[in-house]
Amino acid sequence: MKIFRRYFFKEFFKFFIIVLVSFTAISIVAEFFDKASEFYAEKPPVYLVIQYLLLQAPRVILYALPFASLFSILITIGMASKWRETIIIKASGASTKKLFSSFLILGVVITLISLVLGETVVPEATRSAAYVRKVHILKQSPRIIQSKGALWIKGLDGSLVRISGFVENDNRILKTSIFQFNTSFGLEKRTEADAAVWDHGIWTLKNVTVFDFKNNTSHHYETLISTSLEEPKIFSEEMKKPEEMNFRELYTYYSRLEKAGFRNLRYMIQLYEKLAYPSINFVMMLFGISLALNTRWGGGIRAAGLGVIISVLYWLLYSMSISLGNTGFLQPWLAPWISPLAFGIAGSVLYWQIKE
């Protein structure tokens, strides 16, 4: 039994590496051609282009892992069926179900690896790729500095602006502080506002207190027009995207929005996606084993074709459930789990139907 298991693990990893490397290479080449116009216009050094493309690889690998697992297990078992190896296993008194069930442990391991990658390497690499593209390739200076719990930006009037968050759907800035300095960089005025709203091309500060240190006075206003802040698009373009944050960072940012009274469904769904997506690795392994041992598709092209069909069906259901979550039809916590649950249940039913 150990010899068989070692042999099939070896075959699995052979196909797994081929599929994973192929998918990653194709995605990186596609990314290169997608950004080819930028590379041609800016003519950056070749090493910067290579660096940018390589930094995209961890994110691609993370998304490719479940489907590499699915294709590899289908091809491995399909080839074993084609060459009558499964018949030899049964003839020797062993159980194919028990033999290939050891791959479920491998599915758990890949799931944990995916979770760790998604929380460590992928966000950092994605942030670095965005920085290399904007700063080194497009030669755009960073306009927003993000520190723990705050965003810092240089105001249009030379002031320094600190905001606690930006609500993209409402074009609204949360608690805002504006610091104005004299030519000697001495603080002259500090403006504190509970919020700022973009309306008719201007920013209107709400519940404002202005501290004038030059005249040693303070004034309170219900509303006040600000000329320090730039248009909302700068926040959408410069802020960290959800894929550039790990679970903790995204949770912290979303919590700040929620405490301020704003509920961003897209951020909430992407928060739960960070937990749901790694589980797809185990689900695909379970579904692949169950389907392959219950059918006689054979190996090679047939198994790969079956993998393509399953992948397309999975992504159709996954995209549909995420869209329904974004519209509020499904609960945000449920939307990312619809596909893993559906395919997990289907895989479990097929697994128990495997004939010894």
What are the tens digits of pLDDT across the range 279-313?
999 999 998 888 888 765 544 556 667 778 888 89
pLDDT digits (tens, 9 = 90+) for 26-74: 999 999 999 999 999 999 999 999 999 999 999 999 999 999 999 898 8
Q: Among positive and negative, which fits the CA dihedral 282, 284, 290, 293?
A: negative
- Exposed, middle or buried: residue 147 (CB in 10 Å: 0-12, 13-18, 19+)? exposed
What are the tens digits of pLDDT across the range 256-275? 777 767 777 888 898 999 99
User: At CA 289, angle to CA 285 and CA 293, rounded to 5?
Assistant: 170
**pLDDT in the model for residue 339:** 93
pLDDT at 90: 66
Q: Which residues of the chain have pLDDT under 50?
A: 298-299
